[in-house]
Chains A and B, each alone.
Chain A
Amino acid sequence: MNDKTLKETLSRLTIPPADATARGRALVRAEIAYVNRPKGVGFPFENAGRQAAMADHAKWEGGLRTRTIALVCLAAVVLSCFLFFQARRMGHEPIVGTGTPSQQDQLDARDAKLLAEMGALFRGQLEAVISQGADLSLDLDPAASAATTPAPQQPLAVILRRGKPPGIG
């Protein structure tokens, strides 16, 4: 049996005709219930003020919710930006840069002096002096440096690490 046959078969259901007396009784009972129905519960124009107030309140609540969400989102964006730039500063800025301008000048002068000394030591060979960290300390052993002096043609990069390595001085 397919769906079409099922529908056709179902349509054969016979309904006994409604009894006119029962219908009349039903009408009378319904009319009695209609006449005695509780009134004013939901008449379209009753409670209109209350309904309007409730609608306004719902609208206000909706607006407040939207505003709160927008404010929270804005705060989250600002906080994210702040943290992002803070992280970038922490990651890229040299620590010496955090000093006061006078300290920075002193450090620059020291660096320049060191560069000059290193330039004199490895004359014509020095490609770059790279400094890392704070508190430069250079302890050169003249004998060792003389023994390990490279050939004049050999390019040289000297890396100076700020701070004293363990075991020195």
Chain B
Amino acid sequence: MRMAAPETESSDVNDEELVARAQRDDHEAFRELFDRYYSMIYSYAYRASLDSAGAQDIAPETFIKAARNLETFRSEASFKAWLYRIATNATRDWHRERARQGRLSQAVTESWDGETAVIPNDAAPTDRVAEALQALPEDLRLAIVLVYYEGLTHSAAGRVLGCAETTVSWCIFRAKPQLKTLLSRKEAQS
């Protein structure tokens, strides 16, 4: 199941050449890389965070980090996998920051004596698939997203996540029954 694809396939220039040109201060080459991969990274960021605002934070952050560290990119790895790795780290940072903000918000609410109003979270997923994915632990969700949505092999997903191929296989193995149960339950409810 392959859902993400580079935005523009019209250009015949491969990624390695574009990166090499961008490393030599070719502004157009960098812009071409951005155009080619923004949608892919945005989709990945949304699936990994299940939050549209989160995806709009993670995707630019990924390209900013990629631009800053462009000189360190080596052509032994594919540029796409390199971007996935940066996006994964940005997603983890985003989750950590959100958890920190949640704790802070809870502390403020607890110390507040006055009335509180519940503000509905518009960004919360209403999709049952998104709800099921959100119920998964972060590592399992990232493994499912990389393998099922982005079409990476377990080995490639392991390189992106910074773990062994067997760990990815184990994550998928653990995530599948949980997803099946959650989705079946939600299907029965609807």
Using CB atoms and an 8 Å cutoff, list the residues of chain A in contact with chain B: 1, 3, 6-7, 9-16, 18-19, 22-23, 25-27, 29-31, 33-35, 37-44
Enumerate 13 A-B pairs (CB-CB under 8 Å) in ascending A order.
A1-B183, A6-B179, A6-B183, A9-B129, A10-B129, A10-B144, A10-B149, A16-B52, A18-B38, A22-B56, A23-B38, A41-B71, A41-B72
Partner of B130, one of A13, A18, A35: A13
Q: Which residues of B contact A22 (CB under 8 A)?
A: 56, 60
A7 touches B67 (CB 8 A): no
B47 touches A13 (CB 8 A): yes
Known: A10-B149, A34-B30. A16 touches B46 (CB 8 A): yes
Q: Which residues of A contact B144 (CB under 8 A)?
A: 10
B67 touches A34 (CB 8 A): yes
The reply to whether the CB of B20 lies closer than 8 angstroms to some CB of chain A is: yes
B31 touches A1 (CB 8 A): no
Whole-angstrom distance from the CB of A4 to the nearest CB of chain B? 10
Using CB atoms and an 8 Å cutoff, list the residues of chain B in contact with chain A: 1, 3, 20, 22-23, 27, 30-31, 34, 38-39, 42-43, 46-47, 52, 55-56, 59-60, 63-74, 127, 129-130, 133, 144, 148-149, 176, 179-180, 183-184
Partner of B179, one of A10, A15, A29: A10
B180 touches A29 (CB 8 A): no
B60 touches A30 (CB 8 A): yes
A43 touches B130 (CB 8 A): no
Whole-angstrom distance from the CB of A27 to the nearest CB of chain B? 6
A30 touches B129 (CB 8 A): no
Q: Beyond A3-B176, A30-B60, A37-B68: 18 further Cβ-contacts under 8 Å?
A: A9-B129, A10-B149, A10-B179, A11-B3, A12-B129, A13-B47, A13-B133, A13-B149, A15-B47, A16-B52, A18-B38, A26-B38, A27-B38, A29-B64, A33-B67, A37-B69, A40-B71, A42-B73
The chain B residue sitting closest to A12, CB to CB, is B129
Whole-angstrom distance from the CB of B175 to the nearest CB of chain A? 10
Whole-angstrom distance from the CB of B154 to the nearest CB of chain A? 15
> A162 CA to B144 CA in the complex, in Å?
87
> A18 CA to B38 CA in the complex, in Å?
9
Partner of A27, one of B31, B56, B65, B130: B31
Whole-angstrom distance from the CB of A97 to the nearest CB of chain B? 65
Q: Which residues of A contact B46 (CB under 8 A)?
A: 15-16
B71 touches A42 (CB 8 A): yes
> A22 CA to B54 CA in the complex, in Å?
12
Partner of A31, one of B27, B52, B127: B27
Q: Which residues of B contact A7 (CB under 8 A)?
A: 1, 148
Whole-angstrom distance from the CB of B141 to the nearest CB of chain A? 11
B68 touches A26 (CB 8 A): no
